[in-house]
């Protein structure tokens, strides 16, 4: 079978690396891909916002299965259009992708199906949103309803900050995403994520992970897309995993089914482990980046077979087999990220970094006759396993030390929370 993968990040390189190991895959195409993906797939400049063009590409290249990596094409309904054209695809419909695309949609689903989450209210005008602040204690969380590239969440310590956040949303700081606002209670606890592969009826727990959202060591500085991750997350005991599946994931699938929009694809639950147990902070409808990189390094089973089972409703017939060893990934980013940064800076030493079994997944890279260059904010994900998170951390940083890239930087403390727990 020929497969088309959509996306260009470290997540998609990890997916590509696993997909081409499947005996079911004869050839992999990727749109648009990156220099790492180009080593295992044929990259194409296909415009993925042009759904008829994607469908033509699939017909012309006899694509049997499409895997969508990022959220934007899912929310835009790419999977609906492919399926209507008779092309099998992995990922939710546009309606089901509202679990990520609309925070208000998810909160209402939680309320209806009694899924533990922060108390909340939805607003379409600034005045009533501000009036509601009188009923809330501080800190309070103000969220733009729609997709805001991880920027639409304001944790307000004071009433003035909350008011400024509400104004920012309704004045258009987050574009369309801010036309509606959710105000919610601030949850206290440790954050973790859980990934479940879903076929509309059945969910298969894939694994847990913890991300490092802030740019600087000690969780300081601005938020990023994620500077490193590990899996599993030691805070997620078997009891907490079972509770998350029973109290959050299973009722969500039942709720989506009841709404006539069964959820197929990856359900990524962002959780707060509070003193009452796991509560849902938010859903994403795709793999996390960089969480996917650590999950793929731990997965022994055929990813393509699992994804096909999710897409055709035969989840009960498959199982996932894992390496027990934890995996950890360190993101190398261009100096200046998440602000502005220079493009086109040279990178060398990837082969040496991979010599002892680590994997270097590419994100913002390109390659030409002049060699490998950084062209994005997040650029490389140096990923390794070890007998403990501490050992995986050592292996990843050892590998990273072989990479020569003057314009790159990385956090030096990825895994600190898990390592503290181990010792
Ligand atoms: P989200 O995009 O909804 O995941 O929010 C981004 C980050 O904001 C989360 O990873 C949390 O760190 C934080 N956050 C969001 N909602 C809450 C909440 N209700 N209580 C505490 N922290 C939150
Ligand atoms: N690493 C966070 C995300 O993928 O949303």
Please report the pLDDT score of residue 105 as a whole number. Answer: 95
Q: Exposed (0-12), middle (13-18) or buried (19+): which is 356, by Cβ within 10 Å? A: exposed
Q: How far apart are CA 267 and CA 74, in angstroms?
A: 13
Ligand 1 pocket, residues with Cβ under 6 angstroms: 118, 141, 150, 153, 155, 184, 186-187, 191, 270, 281-282
Q: How far apart are CA 277 and CA 265, in angstroms?
A: 25
Which tokens belong to 265?
Answer: 């694809």
Distance of CA 418 to the CA centre of its chain: 20
What stretches in the chain show pLDDT beneath 50?
Answer: none
Which of the listed CATH numbers 3.40.50.20, 3.30.43.10, 3.40.50.300, 2.50.20.10 matches domain 2-93?
A: 3.40.50.20
Looking from the CA of residue 286, the nearest atom of ligand 2 is: 4
Please report the pLDDT score of residue 344 as a whole number. Answer: 97
Which of the listed CATH numbers 3.40.190.10, 3.40.50.300, 3.80.10.10, 3.90.600.10 matches domain 327-422?
A: 3.90.600.10
Give the residue extent of every domain in the chain.
2-93, 125-179, 190-317, 327-422
Q: How far apart are CA 24 and CA 18, in angstroms?
A: 11
CA 281 / ligand 1 centre spacing (Å): 6
Sheet containing 181-185: which strands, arranged edge to edge? 120-123, 181-185, 140-144, 153-156
pLDDT digits (tens, 9 = 90+) for 313-364: 999 999 999 999 999 999 999 999 999 999 999 999 999 999 999 999 999 9
Q: Does ligand 2 lie within 6 Å of residue 207's CB atom?
A: no
CA 131 / ligand 2 centre spacing (Å): 32
Question: Which one of the ligands is nearest to 187 CA?
Answer: 1
Beta strands in 145-301 (DSSP E): 153-156, 181-185, 190-199, 203-211, 214-216, 220-223, 228-231, 264-274, 277-284
CA 288 / ligand 2 centre spacing (Å): 4
pLDDT digits (tens, 9 = 90+) for 31-75: 999 999 999 999 999 999 999 999 999 999 999 999 999 999 999
Please report the pLDDT score of residue 93 as a whole number. Answer: 97
Q: Does ligand 2 lie within 6 Å of residue 226's CB atom?
A: yes
Question: Which one of the ligands is nearest to 285 CA?
Answer: 2
Q: Does ligand 2 lie within 6 Å of residue 288's CB atom?
A: yes
Please report the pLDDT score of residue 137 as a whole number. Answer: 93
Rg (the chain; Cα; Å): 21
Q: Name the residue with the closest Cα to ligand 1, atom 16.
A: 281
What DSSP letter does each residue of 57-106 carry, written as one string?
A: HHHHTTEEEEEE-SHHHHHTTHHHHHHHTT--EES--TTTTHHHH-HHHH
C-alpha dist (Å) from residue 361 to 158, 188, 202, 339: 41, 33, 30, 22
Place of tokens 């907490």: 240
CA 86 / ligand 2 centre spacing (Å): 31
Helix axis angle, 303-312 relative to 10-19, nearest 10°?
A: 100
**Contact indicator for 240, 277 with CB cutoff of 8 Å:** yes
**Contact indicator for 371, 416 with CB cutoff of 8 Å:** no
CA 187 / ligand 1 centre spacing (Å): 8
Q: How far apart are CA 211 and CA 193, in angstroms?
A: 8
Please report the pLDDT score of residue 152 as a whole number. Answer: 87
Determine phi and psi for 392, rounding to 5 degrees: -60, -40
Q: Which residues of 141-163 are buried (b: 16+ CB within 10 A; e: fewer)?
A: bbbbbbbbeeebbbebeeeebbb
Q: How far apart are CA 388 and CA 395, in angstroms?
A: 11
CA 289 / ligand 2 centre spacing (Å): 5
As a whole number of Å, the end-to-end CA separation of the chain is 47
CA-angle at 263, arms to 257 and 269, nearest 5° = 115
Q: Which of 289, 271, 226 is nearest to 12 (CA)?
A: 289
Please report the pLDDT score of residue 392 as a whole number. Answer: 98
CA 153 / ligand 1 centre spacing (Å): 7
- Quick one: which H or E segment has residue 4? strand 2-7
Please report the pLDDT score of residue 106 as a whole number. Answer: 96
Question: Which one of the ligands is nearest to 10 CA?
Answer: 2
Domain 125-179 sits in CATH at 3.30.1490.20
Q: Does ligand 2 lie within 6 Å of residue 10's CB atom?
A: no
CATH class of 190-317: alpha beta
């Amino acid at each position: 079978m020929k497969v088309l993968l959509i996306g260009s990040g470290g997540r998609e390189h990890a997916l590509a690396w696993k997909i081409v190991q499947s005996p079911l895959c004869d050839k992999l195409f990727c749109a648009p891909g990156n220099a790492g993906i180009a080593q295992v797939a044929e990259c194409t400049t296909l415009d993925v916002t042009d759904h008829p063009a994607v469908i033509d590409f699939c017909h012309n290249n006899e694509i049997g299965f499409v895997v969508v990596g990022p959220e934007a094409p899912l929310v835009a309904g790419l999977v609906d259009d492919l399926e209507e054209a008779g092309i099998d695809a992995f990922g939710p419909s546009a309606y089901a992708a509202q679990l990520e695309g609309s925070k208000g949609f998810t909160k209402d689903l939680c309320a209806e199906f009694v899924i533990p989450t922060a108390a909340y209210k939805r607003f379409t005008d600034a005045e009533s949103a501000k009036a509601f602040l009188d009923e809330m204690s501080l800190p309070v969380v103000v969220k733009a309803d729609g997709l805001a590239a991880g920027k639409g969440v304001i944790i307000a310590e004071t009433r003035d900050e909350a008011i400024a956040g509400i104004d920012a949303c309704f004045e258009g700081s987050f574009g369309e995403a801010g036309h509606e606002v959710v105000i919610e209670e601030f949850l206290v606890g440790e954050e973790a994520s859980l990934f479940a592969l879903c076929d509309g009826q059945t969910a298969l727990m894939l694994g847990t992970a913890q991300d490092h959202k802030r740019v600087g060591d000690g969780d300081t500085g601005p938020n990023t897309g994620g500077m490193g991750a590990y899996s599993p997350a030691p805070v997620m005991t078997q009891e907490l995993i079972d509770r998350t599946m029973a109290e959050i994931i299973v009722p969500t699938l039942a709720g989506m089914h009841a709404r006539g929009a069964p959820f197929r694809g990856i359900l990524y639950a962002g959780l707060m482990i509070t003193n009452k147990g796991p509560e849902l902070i938010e859903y994403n409808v795709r793999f996390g980046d960089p969480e996917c990189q650590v999950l793929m390094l731990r997965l022994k089973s055929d990813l393509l077979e699992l994804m096909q089972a999710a897409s055709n409703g035969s989840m009960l017939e498959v199982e996932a087999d894992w390496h027990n060893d934890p995996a950890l990934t360190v993101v190398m980013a261009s100096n200046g990220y998440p602000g502005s940064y220079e493009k086109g800076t040279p990178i060398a030493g990837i082969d040496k970094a991979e010599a002892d079994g680590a994997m270097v997944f590419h994100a913002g890279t390109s390659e030409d006759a002049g060699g490998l260059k950084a062209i994005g904010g997040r650029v490389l994900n140096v990923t390794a396993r070890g007998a403990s998170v501490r050992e995986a951390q050592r292996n990843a940083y050892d590998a990273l030390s072989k990479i020569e890239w003057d314009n790159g930087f990385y956090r030096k403390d990825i895994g600190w929370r898990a390592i503290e727990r181990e010792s």
